[in-house]
Amino acid sequence: MRPAALLLVLALVLSACGKGDEKGGAAAAPATSGPVAPPPNADPAEAAAAAVAKFSDEELVGQVLMPYAYGNDATNVTGASAKENNAYAGVASPADMVKKYKLGGLILVGWSADDPTGGTNKTTNVDSPEQIRKLTDGLNRAAGVKLLIGTDQEYGAVTRIRTGIVQLPSAMAFGAARNPAATEAAWKAAGGNLAALGINVDFAPVADVLGPRGSGVIGSRSYGSVPADVSAQVAAATKGLTAAGVAPALKHFPGHGHTTADSHEELPVLAQDRAALDREDLPPFVAGIQAGAGIVMSGHLDVKAIDPGTPATFSSKVLIDLLRGAMGFKGVVVSDAMNMAPAKKWGPGEAAKRAVLAGNDIVLMPPNLKQAQKGLLDGLKDGSLPKQRLVEAATRVLTLRYKLAAAPQPEMSILDSEADRAAAQAASAAAVTVFRGRCSGPLVTGGVTIAADGKWGTQKEWLTAALAEHGIQVRSGGTTVRLIGYNDGAASASSKDVTVAMDTPYALRQMQGTLVATYSSSQASMKAVAAVLAGKAKATGRSPVKLDGLPLSACT
């Protein structure tokens, strides 16, 4: 055969090999997708800039997209998951999604009835540590270079992974404990656990400062209502996660705490003037940035003092002029979930383009990945999205990927170690606050009855076991200990009852009897409050939010 003919045959064979049908109906993707690993000891920013300079439009767009996916395995998914992935992205599996769209990142999601963010999470793919590690390994193999794999592990009401790894108390519990060093140690332990699972981005800590009216959707996700105190806690959590090789994402910029609406369902208004914004909302973000936070999440918030009527997610005045210009942030800006109501004012493609134009480097959880990609590509073609803006965003994302990929991944054997649990227990114990009641000796004697909504059955079991360790039996009669948690209203209580608030303490304002707060419903928090109830430990916590008619603590 003549050389020219041989080359033609070889080309036809290779072409045929590339046209095999996938489950998703698209041509088979290559084994890996996107950039290759940089040379050893290369500067991440320089290596990223060099790689991005060679990217196609599709590769540029892929870097700025961080979707979710259906299925708890990278390649082997159920028929139902494959159907949902095809509707969302035109592919069958998470790995196919990474390869087809040349993604820079992917978010792992979970759903629970008591999660204030649950409405945006359409699936669950965080079942167990072993499953998560297998999933993230498969995703990274598909990508070639480690992806940004994130999740919302705030602890407290928003906790995606609830078993097999260390469980910290809520942010508000850390605020009540008032010990930034302990906060940093606990978050370093948590970060190490996440890193072992292959998760290198945590959409935490929440840097929102609560206003005097509180915020239903933020609540105990915040460290409190005093900007300086919140700043210290945010900086500590940021340092802890960063030291563990996990990129923290400060949220929700420029601050969701002085709003009362839920941005999952409507556009909340941040009504204070610029001086109040600088004084009350921005300090924790400044502190987190100075502590080394690599990511800031923009909020779906109407910031009246800066760009009235435009959600901050889509406002260059907020993200470029304020965050990058006035505050000097040089890292990655990620949008809040784009499947939330304020972002769905436009279609997925137009919303994605507007978000990038406004200054976001990552478009998080677009409601339809196919349409989001098309909107960005169309913007490049017609000039409405300048290529340089996309190059800038992709370079920031890839720089962070390279930085995080250089960190060694911990072994699974480190998960939920004795030292990790001790760090969580210390913070939980320091948080317990008595608002009304004795400050020494037991708060209950003899037997007790535990009353709680049925959804707190696990907490009742934990508290029962913890009380038994102190010689207090749970039985009919005796003092009633009432547990109230997230989304529970004030329960009727007599002057002889003990009420324990496992989330924000606001409901205690309307209640009688002995009033105690743990701010969190973790097992460590139940052990901590059991020790206080039995008189074996003092309640050293101090409320990080003010309650009308009650002191910040009756005991400190």
Burial 13-40 (b: 16+ CB within 10 A, else e): eeeeeeeeebebebeebeebbbbeebee
Burial 471-509 (b: 16+ CB within 10 A, else e): ebebeeebbbbbbbbbebeebebeeebbbbbbbbbbbbe
List CB contacts of 372: < 8 A, sequence separation 6 or more: 65, 67, 338, 348, 349, 351, 352, 363, 366
- Distance (Å, rounded) from C-alpha 249 to C-alpha 348? 23
Task: Please give the positions annotated as active site.
Answer: 264, 336
The length of the chain in residues reads 556
Alpha-helical segments (H) within 144-179: 171-177
- Distance (Å, rounded) from C-alpha 213 to C-alpha 149? 35
- Among residues 261, 323, 326, 259, the alpha carbon closest in space to that of 296 is found at 323
List CB contacts of 439: < 8 A, sequence separation 6 or more: 538, 539, 554, 555
Tokens of 434: 């008595």
Which residues partner with 452 through β-bridges?
Answer: 483
- Distance (Å, rounded) from C-alpha 328 to C-alpha 74? 38
Question: Listing from the earlier edge strand, what are the strands of the sheet with 433-436?
Answer: 433-436, 514-517, 498-501, 479-484, 448-452
The conformation of residue 502, written as its DSSP 8-state character, comes to S
